[in-house]
Amino acid sequence: MSDLRLQLCNYRLTTAEILYHLPDHPSVLQSFLWQNMDLAPEYPILRRFLDFWVGNIEGRLHSVKVASAALITPSELRHANMSFTLH
């Protein structure tokens, strides 16, 4: 499905900062940024990715911060303070 069609179906650009423990040095945290179109507030695509991470990647998850923003929003209407006439 195209990104425009996803946005019209209420999908949002979702960014997740994933902190995880390095497998060789468990006391050291590494950051990984994940970004995709996802459906808030359930985030099924992010959850599927995190399930894959837990099952297949050695780095144990520490925390996940999620931010999302709608890319298609209602227009903003502002009134002009001045009016100009061109001849």
Give me the residue label for tokens 């001849």: 87
User: What does DSSP assign to residue 48?
Assistant: H
Q: Which of 2, 81, 1, 12 is nearest to 40 (CA)?
A: 12
- Mean pLDDT across the stretch 3-17? 87
Q: Is the pLDDT of residue 68 over 80?
A: yes
Output the pTM of the full model.
Answer: 0.78
**Residue 58 confidence (pLDDT):** 94
E-state strands within the chain:
11-21, 29-39, 61-69
- Indicate the helix (H) or strand (E) that contains 10: none
Q: Is the pLDDT of residue 31 over 90?
A: yes
